[in-house]
Amino acid sequence: MKKYLFLFLVLFTITSFGQVEDSLKTTKSLVKMNNGSTRIGVILNDDGREVLIQDESIGKIYIRKDQIAMIRELNEEDYQELKSEKEAFEEGDIYSNPFTTRYSFTTNALALRKGEHYAMINLYGPEVHFSLNEKLSLGVMTTWIGSPFALAAKYTIPTSNENINLGIGTLMGNGGYLSLNSFGGLHWGMVTFGDRTKNVTLSGGITYFGGDIGNSYYLYTPGTYVNLSPIGNSVSARNTFGAFGVAGIFRITEKASIFYDAMGFFGGKRPTQTYDTYFDPVTGDYITEIGPVTYNEGRYLIFLMPGVRFQTKPDRAFQVSVAGAFNDNVQFGFPMCSWFFKF
């Protein structure tokens, strides 16, 4: 009996000592995993092969060292900041920000909540968007030189299914001080399937532009001219295109999402006219024949913008994409970087 009592006392003492030792360890650490996820807690033991951590969310857990990318001890200030960020991620608050309404260039039908405003800084220039109420938002877009200049508006139409939202949008602008006579507009409707962390948006509408930048054509009155210059005048044409878009975003880790943004424009009226001048050896006259004006509507322009978005805080994000443009004449690519800020 005394033998069993002695063994019990020894085991009790060892266990109690281990619990006391664990309770004395209070330094919090950040454990970053190879897959991008993180854990915050107290490191209780590290035997070189695995780590025992007192995770604040689920309690004690063993983690193999080959699954860990980094371990960093935290001071109180770092701990409080990371804890609030992690709670925001776990509760989904970090993905309830206004950035979730955007892709690269296009928007989805999810609403900007009242009081949620954001700025988007691109390589080519800034833009700012304001939420007027739960359905309507207005924005301003320009370049770093302040021209051209555009106004944007979006109205969200929710449905009975929270994962299906409708919306209409408009974008209108001009060439700014570089060309006050040039103007254009883009008007579209859209439907978004999904939530703020993963969704797909389909859109369609019309766009037009006109003025004195690349849209002026010198046209002649059709007919036959004998020893005379043809009568003509410069015409500023308004080009109208059909527009469509396909975009989506998918969260792949705790702080990263992949997205794609595709826009296409097709149609547009471009005037063409036949022109022929020749010498008539019989009469000795110069003959000029001008044909009728016809319009070519077979043009197209497509933008493809796949990329990755990184979000480490609820009020800011960064994204990068490789954009490509294709039309009936040329194809080229260019990088796109954007910074989001909530205010």
Which band of pLDDT confidence, cut at 50, 70 and 90, is reported for residue 139? very high
- Give tens-digit pLDDT for 145-176: 988 889 999 999 999 998 999 999 999 998 77
Q: Alpha-carbon distance 206 to 263, whole Å? A: 12
Question: Tokens for 63?
Answer: 């983690």
Domain ranges of the chain: 23-91, 95-342
- pTM of the entire structure? 0.67
Q: What is the distance between the alpha carbons of residues 279 and 286, in angstroms, rounded to a whole number? A: 5
Q: What is the pLDDT of residue 246?
A: 97
Q: From its phi and psi, is residue 115 left (phi > 0), alpha (psi between -120 and 50) or beta?
A: left
**What is the percentage of the chain residues whose pLDDT exceeds 90?**
41
DSSP 160: S
How many CA atoms, within 13 angstroms, populate the side-chain half-sphere of residue 300? 10
Q: For residue 21, what are its two tokens?
A: 């030792």
Token pair in block for residue 40: 């915050």
pLDDT at 235 over 60: yes
Which residue has 């609403």 as its token pair?
Answer: 111
Q: What is the pLDDT of residue 13?
A: 47
Closest CA relative to residue 288, chosen from 247, 218, 327, 232? 232
- CA terminus-to-terminus distance, the chain: 73
What is the fold, at CATH topology level, of the domain defined by 23-91? SH3 type barrels. (2.30.30)
User: Tell me, what's the pLDDT at 23?
Assistant: 42
Q: What is the pLDDT of residue 233?
A: 73
* Topology annotation, domain 95-342: Porin (2.40.160)
Same topology for domains 23-91 and 95-342, yes or no? no
Contact between 253 and 271 under an 8 Å Cβ cutoff? The reply is no
* pLDDT for 331: 83
Residue 342 pLDDT exceeds 70:
yes
Task: Please tell me which residue, 314 or 340, carries the higher pLDDT value.
Answer: 340
Which one, of 107, 140, 139, 146, lies nearest residue 124 by Cα?
146
Dist. CA 128–CA 151, nearest whole Å: 10
Q: What is the per-residue DSSP string for 97-122?
A: SGGGGB-SS-B-SPPPPTT--EEEEE
Helix, strand, or coil (residue 226): strand
